[in-house]
Amino acid sequence: MKRPYPTYLLLFLMLATFAMLAWLSLARYFAFTSRAFDLGAMSQAIWSATQGKPLIFTVEGISLSRLARHVELFYFLLAPLYALWPAPSTLLILQAGLAVIGALPIYRIATRRLKQAWPAVIIAAIYLLYPVMQTAVLFEFHADTLAMPLLLFALDALDRQAQRSYFFWLVLALSCKFYVAVPVAALGVILWWHGQKRLGWGTLMLAVAWGVVVFGVIRPYFAPPEATYVEATTRSYLSYYFGQLNLTLTGALRLSNAVIVYAPVLLLAWRAPRWLLPATAVILPVLLSSGPGPSFDFQYHHYALGVPFLMMALIAGAEQLHQDVPSSRHWQKRLAMAFCLTLILNSFLVNSPLNVRFYQAQPGSGFGLDTLAGYGRTDRDALKFLWMAPLQASNQPMAADRSLARLVTNRSLLYLVPPENKPHEELLPQVDTVTVDALYDFALLDRNQNLLEGGVQTAFPTIGWLLNQPEWHLVRAQDGLLQFGHENASLWQQVTTEPDDGQLEPVARFNDGLALLDASITPLGNDLFQMDCFWQAERPFAANASYFAVSRLEGLAHSRIVHLPTLAILPVSTWVPNTIIHESFVFTLPANTPAGHYAVKTGWYNANNPFASETDSRSRLGEEITSGYIVIP
């Protein structure tokens, strides 16, 4: 019996692609380097479904159902799986697996139409390597990425004339997001135009009926009073994505993204223009959109719904060329060229091991194993999981920054800080706990190493607000990770000013006019220590000066202590020369600190430096000084 070698190769390619996409997705999650919070919002919504609620998420400052936004009913089907393994990583694995399974219907359609298995494997490989397919999977978690393979199964059923199966997969795809109705409606028009009147009309009516139900019933029913405020109305939604078009400034970028999306299939797809219409019904609005990101960038998920129809155009184009010249291998050469072009684009554009830049990543580039914004994980990232573990099991209302919030999404109320839409004083009184990273270590840089996004100052506004509220106290801290609550203030923080009477002389000077007059560390018992520092500004600081002090126990990992009083209560930009700044705070050492004699090193750092979270020579003002000693018996 002849062995199905093409099938074996296809399965190998699928497993390899799944392993790569799942690994990269999980690597970014465990490295805390996701740019957006979409995965966190979807995780909280799906978790709410396991609690019998209608896909509720609260990160935008209100309790909002996904059914008031994109109407992602498909998430209800994922809830039982999420209940078995309730973590955002579950969704990332499901997304990668479902996307890769989309190669199966492509292989079946191509084998059926081309009557050959090997060309079908090549077409399936083009799908698995398609740049915007992979970037959609690697960008957080989204329902349109899930709809992509569902549409492929619908197209396979259509191709084998299995109408019940066809409509079943269409309904599943439509349940992912309301705008899946756009390509489905275009598909109905194409079927009707090319003679399949009844099927085309049924497809079109299904899409139209779904749109009517979505906009006439589901979204209005679940929309909160603040619907306009959170873009949950049709007008505000359109304004959000299409309200600020400026093609003059971004025309070249939009054109380049169009090339990236279409180029891999055009060598053959132009012979099957009818399949390009449903794809373009998705791709063109994205190219014209003015949403944040920018939303037309190929690195996001917005082009995923066009991929099934681009693949159909590729298959139909190869079939057409094969029929036009049956004795020629011209179509096979074109197919090989399409595969090579796809591989080349993938190797230049997708942040994966197939890309040379993956191995040459600069800090903050977001590529490869970059620990600031890429897939690279540090020991401190592992610490974050351990440090947040006590909060994961509770359902108490809490707020957290974008980095730490991903670990505590399984709760009824979770806000992001700093808040984007509402002030601290409106959101934080509703929660019991706030966790932030004072050394926020996600930083995306441009080619000149200037900060584009993130940076250590991300949490400063929230820290400042909390420290200035008498009802909030620092209750736990380690290596810049801070937990605030309403419990007794064992880790109190304060700063006072007093006139300089000339009795204290600087014992150390840092760059930019910072002087240390005196420092002391006092054991308080119960593993608590008090640190007192007397600082002075030797000249006025600029209004945009953002400096912060950090102390650490030399030789002890994860022992950095951020001086919060002079970071947030009385920042250096407000210091007056010839005035003594008395900073006093209580800190604790990491659990299970070994016995020993530790020197306490203190330094000042520039928060405007993109590498400030590393607290090394790149952002340090001058040199560290020894400010005291701690003896652990």
Asked if the model's pLDDT at residue 191 lies above 60, the reply is yes
Peptide bond just before 418 cis, omega within 30 deg = yes
**CATH domain 493-632 topology:** Coagulation Factor XIII; Chain A, domain 1 (2.70.50)
Asked if the model's pLDDT at residue 368 lies above 90, the reply is yes
- Average pLDDT score over residue span 4-25: 95
What pLDDT is stored for residue 227 in this prediction? 62
Tokens linked to 141:
């978690």
The DSSP bridge partners found for residue 496 are 582
Residue 398, SS3 per DSSP: strand
Question: 582: which residues sit within 8 A by CB, 6+ positions away?
Answer: 495, 496, 497, 498, 532, 533, 534
Contact indicator for 352, 359 with CB cutoff of 8 Å: no
The 10s digit of each residue's pLDDT in 535-546 is 999 889 988 899
Asked if the model's pLDDT at residue 232 lies above 90, the reply is no
What pLDDT is stored for residue 574 in this prediction? 93
Asked if the model's pLDDT at residue 284 lies above 60, the reply is yes
What pLDDT is stored for residue 592 in this prediction? 86
The 10s digit of each residue's pLDDT in 91-121 is 999 999 999 999 999 999 999 999 999 999 9
CB atoms within 10 A of CB 380: 21
Q: Sorting pLDDT into bands at 50, 70 and 90, what band is 364?
A: very high
What pLDDT is stored for residue 246 in this prediction? 63
Distances (CA, A) of 561 to 480, 482, 499, 574, 606: 6, 10, 27, 22, 16
Q: Sorting pLDDT into bands at 50, 70 and 90, what band is 200?
A: very high
The 10s digit of each residue's pLDDT in 162-187 is 999 999 999 999 999 999 999 999 99
DSSP 555: T
What pLDDT is stored for residue 252 in this prediction? 85
Looking at per-residue pLDDT, the higher value among 246 and 2 belongs to 246
Tokens linked to 20:
């790569």
Which amino acid is it at 245?
Answer: L
Distances (CA, A) of 425 to 62, 402, 414, 418: 14, 19, 15, 11
Q: Which of 314, 380, 285 is nearest to 31 (CA)?
A: 380
What pLDDT is stored for residue 1 in this prediction? 43
Residue 498, SS3 per DSSP: strand
The 10s digit of each residue's pLDDT in 481-495 is 999 999 877 899 999
What pLDDT is stored for residue 231 in this prediction? 60
What pLDDT is stored for residue 292 in this prediction? 80
In a 13 Å sphere around the CA of 366, the CA atoms on its Cβ side amount to 18
What pLDDT is stored for residue 490 in this prediction? 83
Q: Which of 47-56, 247-256, 412-421 has the highest mean pLDDT?
A: 47-56
Element (H or E) spanning 404, and its range?
helix 402-405
What pLDDT is stored for residue 505 in this prediction? 86
What pLDDT is stored for residue 229 in this prediction? 57
DSSP 460: H
The residue extents of the domains of the chain are 5-33+87-359, 379-485, 493-632
- Average pLDDT score over residue span 34-55: 95
What pLDDT is stored for residue 467 in this prediction? 95
- How many Å apart are CA 564 and CA 460, to the nearest integer? 9
Asked if the model's pLDDT at residue 2 lies above 60, the reply is no
Q: Which of 393, 392, 374, 395 is nearest to 384 (CA)?
A: 392
Average pLDDT, the chain: 93
- Average pLDDT score over residue span 416-426: 90
Asked if the model's pLDDT at residue 247 lies above 70, the reply is no
Q: How far apart are the first and last CA of the chain?
A: 76
- Average pLDDT score over residue span 518-539: 93
What pLDDT is stored for residue 283 in this prediction? 96
The 10s digit of each residue's pLDDT in 444-468 is 999 888 999 999 999 999 999 999 9
% of residues, the chain, pLDDT over 70: 96
